[in-house]
Structure 1
């Protein structure tokens, strides 16, 4: 394999889809061989769109999965995300950075771990609105902040949640993790974590600091 081929920027998502397609094709070979006639098998009705190819950087990458959350679910996601990460004097609200769309994409992804999160999140959203109707006869996103906080306070700590709130507590814990992942992976909030990357250097690369080289004991290597 030459250097140009080995450095081809194939996305991880396309690579996984290609491997899965290849595995499915290999599994189908014995059935084709065992067929009584020797005619060529018909091509698949819907051939995979995600095969290895040179990337087209002039076109935006289309996600290989459909977004699954309904408009009602997204409204609840936005309300809860903004309750967890509200707008303040130094940071935007979660919804302003597209966190609901991030969660929608995450739970819609066709990977085992994401499918597990999909069940937790969608089931939890249903639980949240059921609890909201039980207490206040409204959907969660229709409640005022004090009422939303009253429900959230009962499920935000799994160690203190009552047995009847167990499902809500499991949901809230995972939802909060996804909120933070979507929020702090956005370029507008990197600075809040003290991240200083993705900044153009004013001059040539200064190299590793001498004190770092000395601490690592690499003086004789450099």
Structure 2
């Protein structure tokens, strides 16, 4: 992730703090269970052609009912959402502590710069919370993976630097994330944690670059009228045989 070498030395004579009695080994076990479940679900979905996003026959049954939102053409149900007055149809699962760690990780993945805010400032961690809280099998597997990964981050932070991930310096956060930022290059003992990081990076990127600020960061100019557009260049039309 970084362009220069960072200090990876563990601070001496510091006893690692273990979150709620969970050891690094136990955190890895939780992560492994989530990764295995996600892989099994994906294989099953591909085998039977089912869509993991929505349970078969779902038509808002079991949810709280339609909203009284601002779009009269939308029923306000999960399958016909009212995007003017959106609601979350399920209880959010992540705790405040988990969200704080997740927000810190999102800002490592997409930090603030001179073009846009960081991912956390745009609510990437809240998007991930809503995603992993959804009552579908694939999302439940992501909840296990993300929750286990957040525990692993805090345990690893305690072992290396004597504090929670949120308490570390940016350099210390990068030292940990450098070891898990690419699954193919991760050492065997970091391979499962790397799957967690990969999933969070994917979700944080989705959250960030679908905001107005994220689209501006990309230089995306769609979704807006452009009366000055004179049409495609003549050389393009000619190459396509449309001149």
Per the TM superposition, whether the score is higher than 0.5 is yes
Which 5+ residue runs of structure 2 have no aligned equivalent? 1-53, 77-81
Q: Structure 2 vs 1, CA of residues 100 and 212 (structure 1 numbering), >3 Å: closer, same or farther?
A: same
Aligned equivalent of 1:93, options 102, 106, 118 = 118
1:34 counterpart residue number: none
Aligned equivalent of 2:144, options 119, 126, 132 = 119
CA RMSD across the alignment: 3.0
Q: Structure 2 vs 1, CA of residues 208 and 59 (structure 1 numbering), >3 Å: closer, same or farther?
A: closer
Q: Structure 2 vs 1, CA of residues 198 and 121 (structure 1 numbering), >3 Å: closer, same or farther?
A: same
TM-score (normalizing by structure 1): 0.69
For the 8 Å contact 2:153–2:165, the answer to whether it is kept is yes
Q: Structure 2 vs 1, CA of residues 61 and 88 (structure 1 numbering), >3 Å: closer, same or farther?
A: closer
Q: Does 1:20 align with 2:55?
A: no
**Distance in 1 of aligned mates of 2:63 and 2:199:** 32
Point out the structure with max Rg over C-alpha.
1
Runs of 4+ in 1 over 6 A off after TM superposition: 56-59
Q: Does 1:68 align with 2:93?
A: yes
Q: Deviations over 1:73-110 (max 9, x none)?
A: 00001111111211111221111111111111111122
TM-score (normalizing by structure 2): 0.63
Q: Secondary structure at the match of 1:159?
A: helix
Q: Deviations over 1:112-146 (max 9, x none)?
A: 32222222111111111111112222111111112
Q: Secondary structure at the match of 2:150?
A: helix
The count of aligned residue pairs is: 180
**Distance in 2 of aligned mates of 1:59 and 1:145:** 38
Which 5+ residue runs of structure 1 have no aligned equivalent? 1-15, 25-46
Aligned equivalent of 2:203, options 155, 178, 197 = 178
